Amino acid sequence: AQSVTQPDIHITVSEGASLELRCNYSYGATPYLFWYVQSPGQGLQLLLKYFSGDTLVQGIKGFEAEFKRSQSSFNLRKPSVHWSDAAEYFCAVGALGNTGKLIFGQGTTLQVKP
């Protein structure tokens, strides 16, 4: 069965430090992978997505993610975190078939220390 795992429920980093949020997926074919961000009480905003080609994907707000097929991972990174990055982050994989459905991970809450 398709699934997405975000091993870290909560992460705290200092402002200016680097960030890596982990995402592992289980999928039987070439995955379509997404990272979304959610501010408290708001909807989700797409940060970046991977379909094919270059395994290092650039997104908005200075985020990037790297697809590693051998590790079934799609980790999100940012070299220097800003206080405004504090939010919840969701990794998702596109479900098989042309439904547009997404399968989401549990989410990782990022706290940024001043």
Partner 1 sequence: DGGITQSPKYLFRKEGQNVTLSCEQNLNHDAMYWYRQDPGQGLRLIYYSQIVNDFQKGDIAEGYSVSREKKESFPLTVTSAQKNPTAFYLCASSSPKRADTQYFGPGTRLTVL
Residue 32 found at the interface with partner 1 (CB under 8 A): yes
Residue 70 found at the interface with partner 1 (CB under 8 A): no
Q: Which is nearer to partner 1, 47 or 112 (CB)?
A: 47
Among the listed residues 43, 54, 70, 114, the single contact to partner 1 using CB under 8 A: 43
Stretch that binds partner 1, among 14-22, 61-69, 78-86, 91-99 (CB under 8 A): 91-99
4: its two tokens: 């997405």
Among the listed residues 42, 80, 84, 111, the single contact to partner 1 using CB under 8 A: 42
For partner 1, the binding residues (CB under 8 A) are 9, 32, 34, 36, 41-46, 49, 51, 90, 94-102, 104-107
